[in-house]
Amino acid sequence: MAVVVGTNCGFCAVQPTSNPSGSFGPTWSPSRTVINGDFTSPTGSYRVTELGIWLDNQGTNGSTLDLGIYDWDGKKAANLLTHGTVAYAATEQWYRVTLGTKYTLASATSYCLACAWSPTTNYGSSNYAGTAANHTVLKNSTYPLPATNTSTWALKRYIAMYALYEEAPTSVTVPFRACSIIM
């Protein structure tokens, strides 16, 4: 299966499980950040429960990945909104972070997804597809993901990085009636 927005890239309603295949790359080295965006969130009331990235069998076993979501300022990823870490096992697989606090998305709004490697990683590679106007930048950075991004776009490809979402619970207002108890 190739890298497809809504299936194994961007916002996904179903967790991707198979190798996205497609073209090999981009490759990045330690202390670098990959930002993939701008993806439009689904229309309605949803929240992100998990972040993931497909990585091929490269890098240093025992390293850590920091996966996150940035808001979009119209030109680039801007501010880190939520993130979490996962250990890298140097095997070809999906690396996933279950968010302890689910992130509530604004309806039909642009966001960016990001991954930073811990400094002990040799290098990493994901699968990508085609070209896109505002996707994938390789940025020199420190680990973990920076609170504010200042990079603009570079490679302009979709990479196999996703945010799994679910419908957000709706609140119900229950009318309260005061009553008195007579004893």
**What is the Cα–Cα distance from 142 to 54, expressed in whole angstroms?**
21
pLDDT reported for residue 85: 95
pLDDT reported for residue 105: 97
Tell me which H or E stretch contains 95. Answer: strand 93-104
> Going by C-beta distance under 8 Å and a sequence separation of 6 or more, which residues neighbour residue 5?
39, 158
pLDDT reported for residue 63: 79
Both tokens of 152, joined, read 């603009």
pLDDT reported for residue 58: 65
Residues of the chain falling short of pLDDT 70? 1, 22-32, 57-61, 119-125, 128-141, 153-155, 172-181, 183
pLDDT reported for residue 34: 78
The tokens 């930002």 sit on which residue? 35
Provide the whole-model pTM: 0.85
Peptide bond into 146 cis (omega under 30): no
Can you give the C-alpha Rg of the chain in angstroms? 19
pLDDT reported for residue 126: 72
pLDDT reported for residue 38: 79
* Topology (CATH level 3) of domain 10-167: Jelly Rolls (2.60.120)
Both tokens of 32, joined, read 């670098």
